[in-house]
Amino acid sequence: MFDIVIYNGFHITMEGKGLGVIEEGGLAIQDGKIAAVGTAEEMRRADARRKIDASGMAVLPGLIDAHVHTGFGLLRGLSQDIGSWMQRGLWPFYDELDREGAAIGSRLAILEAMKAGTTTFNDFFGNMADLARNHVSMGTRAIVTEMVNEMLKKLTDNKTGLYAFDPVVGEEKFNRALALYDAFEGTENGRITVGFGVQATDMLSTELLCRMYREARSRNKKFMLHLEQGDREIDQMQRRYGKRSIAYLEELGMLDENLLAVHLTESSGEDAKYLAGKGASLLHCAGTIGLIDGINPPIGEYLAAGGSVALGSDHVPGNNCSNMFN
């Protein structure tokens, strides 16, 4: 006897090419795992403690939010309808967001996402250990990553010109990233794993960027960062290094299949195709960047070049929700 049987409805299996849809399908669940998939009639006849008629509904796997900052949960909508959204819309409030507020907001964002079908989160934030505990207690699957940079602790102090880097801040965040790995990697029977990444190429020194990359590779981990995410980043990189971020990473030997590039909003089609050819993956957050910057990355060129794309909700200050269907 099965624990649960779901019959009727459209069953989206993701098997083979396309979505693997079974019209009038059914599935059985035993001990929290899918035990059988078949037709609606087969599942209707099966013995089960509970039966669910999904007529007029879709049955699909849990959604994966490939890039999200759940710690921004209390800052919903702050980056919309405002120029220089990061400096003027987000940073003044982020400067006042303490660890308790970030953890509370994270729980809100996770709950909203779970109610909309998200079961796996690639969560990227500072003091990530606080947020990782939310994923542990709420039962979600998560890749948790400490967001490392060398920015001044009070972000609004970075108003004009080049960002001022603080190596003391960078070292503190570097150590938090290592401690996060030691504390959470593979916990909850593998439900919680730890990633490695930096906020962006323009927000830390080359030295710290390379140290973080080496730590990721020594643990056979992917390396994530926001890449060519806006004209602010391009301006900072041109001023400091005389080149854009993709060329900078190429020079450092970091453009390969281990790179998780977030956004690519300011990339050209040629750069996107080049990145795809290197095997890097793109984490695309159309809901936020499309709303707050009014632009989207060259996804078509990237996909045509064989690139791999995953979707993320990013954050509620821009996207206004944690609902992947949005």
**What is the tens place of the pLDDT at every residue in 182-193?**
999 999 999 999
Considering the domain boundaries, does residue 326 fall inside one?
no
Residue 213 sits in a domain of what CATH number?
3.20.20.140
Element (H, E) at 52: strand 48-53
* Residue of 148, 155, 203 whose CA lies nearest to 180: 148
**Alpha carbon separation from 276 to 224, 301, 318 (Å, rounded):** 15, 9, 27
- Does residue 14 sit in the same domain as residue 154? no
Please check whether residue 53 lies inside any domain of the structure.
yes
Number of Cβ within a 10 Å radius of residue 14: 10
Q: In the listed set 25, 59, 93, which residue is the last one of a domain according to the structure?
A: 59
* Region of residue 72 (left: phi > 0; alpha: psi -120 to 50; beta: else): alpha
Residue 85: per-residue pLDDT: 74
* Distances, alpha carbon 154 to alpha carbons 17, 125, 157, 160, 171, in Å: 49, 16, 6, 14, 16
Domain that holds residue 20: 2-59
Indicate whether 67 and 33 sit together in one domain.
Answer: no
Give the residue ranges of the chain where pLDDT is below 70. 157-160, 289-294
Count of domains forming the chain = 2
Is-above-0.85 flag for pTM? yes
Same-domain pairing of 105 and 218:
yes
Quick check: is 189 in a domain? yes
Angle at 168 between CA 193 and CA 89, to 5 degrees: 75
Q: Are residues 148 and 10 in the same domain?
A: no
pLDDT digits (tens, 9 = 90+) for 216-242: 999 999 999 999 988 889 999 999 999
State whether 123 and 256 are in the same domain: yes
Q: Are residues 13 and 121 in the same domain?
A: no
Of 59, 74, 103, the one marking the end of a domain is 59
Same domain, 209 and 235: yes
Residue whose C-alpha is closest to residue 131's, from 152, 149, 105, 159:
105
- If phi > 0 it is left, if psi is from -120 to 50 it is alpha, else beta; for residue 35 that is alpha
Q: Indicate whether 90 and 159 sit together in one domain.
A: yes
